[in-house]
């Protein structure tokens, strides 16, 4: 705390986290369009398409978090099948 006070003149905490940046963020519109055109895509399908079409390698769990943040559902509705 003494070092922080000397360096900055304040004891205010530094910002934490990545500030909302995501390498998937530039593909938000692409994801919305893909899921509106073909709503039965799985997370693995989206991982594969991002890798093949855009050269972007991401984990399956990252896709799930990304869709959740966008408010998009990736779960299949068994009642509609």
Considering Cα of 40, then 47, then 23, then 14, what sign does the dihedral take?
A: positive
pTM of structure: 0.66
The pLDDT tens digits for 2-20 are 988 898 899 998 888 776 6
- Going from N- to C-terminal start, the domains of the chain cover 21-80
Which tens digits make up the pLDDT trace of 27-71? 999 999 999 999 888 999 999 999 999 999 999 999 999 999 899
pLDDT at 22: 81
Phi-psi region of 40 (alpha: psi -120 to 50; beta: other; left: phi over 0): alpha
Helices (H), the chain: 2-8, 28-37, 43-54, 60-70
């Amino acid at each position: 705390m003494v070092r922080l006070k000397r360096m900055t003149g304040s004891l205010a905490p530094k910002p934490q986290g990545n500030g909302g940046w995501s390498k998937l963020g530039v593909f938000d519109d692409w994801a919305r369009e893909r899921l509106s055109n073909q709503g039965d895509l799985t997370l693995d399908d989206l991982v594969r398409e991002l890798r093949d079409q855009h050269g972007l390698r991401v984990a399956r769990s990252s896709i799930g978090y990304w869709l959740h943040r966008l408010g998009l559902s990736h779960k299949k509705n068994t009642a509609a099948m």
